[in-house]
Structure 1
Amino acid sequence: MTPAAPLPDSTETRQALIDACLWMNERHINQGTSGNISARTQTGILITPSGVPYEDLTPDLMVTIPIEGHPAGTELKPSSEWPFHQALHQTRPDMPVVLHAHPPYCSVLAVQRRAIPACHYMIAAFGGNSVPLADYALFGSPELCANMAKIMTDRHGCLMANHGATVLGESIDKARWRLEELETLARTYLFSSIGGAPHILSDAEIAEVLVAFQSYGLRAVEDTKG
Structure 2
Amino acid sequence: MRGESALRQEIIDLCLEMNRSGLNQGTSGNISARVGDAMLLTPSATPYDQMTPEMIVRMPLDGEDGDWSGPLKPSTEWRFHRDILRARPDAGAIVHAHSTFATTIAITRRSIPACHYMVAAFGGNDVKCCGYARYGTAELSARVLEALSDRSACLMANHGMVALGGDLDQAMWRAVELETLAKQYHHSLQIEGGPVILSDAEIGEVLKGFASYGRQSKPSTTSPGETD
Q: Normalising to structure 2: TM-score of the pair? A: 0.91
Aligned to 1:119: 115
Amino acid at match of 1:211: K
1:12-42 Cα distance to aligned partner (Å, 9 max, x none): 1111111111011001010000000001111
Question: Match for 2:18: what amino acid?
Answer: M
- In the alignment, which residue of structure 2 is the partner of 1:212? 209
SS in structure 2 at match of 1:221? coil
Change (3 A) 1:194 1:72: closer
Letter in 2 for 1:143: E
Counting only pairs closer than 5 Å after superposition, residues 63-142 of structure 1 correspond to structure 2 as: 63-68=57-62, 69-70=64-65, 71-142=67-138
Residues 180/219 of structure 1: CA separation in 2 closer, same or farther (3 Å cut):
closer
Q: Deviations over 1:143-187 (max 9, x none)?
A: 001101112121000000000000001111111111111011001
Tell me the distance in 2 between the aligned counterparts of 1:73 and 1:180: 30
C-alpha separation in 1, matches of 2:214 and 2:33: 22
Of 182, 188, 195, the residue aligned with 2:184 is 188
Contact 2:128 2:147 in 1 (8 A): yes
**Which stretch of the first structure deviates more once superposed, 114-123 or 67-76?**
67-76
Identity of aligned residues (%): 48
Q: Show the counterpart of 1:33.
A: 27
Q: Within 2, Cα distance between the matches of 1:107 and 1:54?
A: 21
**Residues 219 and 150 of structure 1, relative CA distance in 2, 3 Å threshold:** closer
* Aligned Cα root-mean-square deviation (Å): 1.6
**Secondary structure at 1:108's aligned position in 2?**
helix
CA distance in 2 between counterparts of 1:222 and 1:105 reads 18
Q: Hey, what's the Cα distance between the residues in 2 that align with 1:9 and 1:64?
A: 14
Alignment of 1:163 with 2:159, yes or no, is yes
Superposition pairs for residues 147-158 of structure 1, below 5 Å?
A: 147-158=143-154
Matched residue count: 219
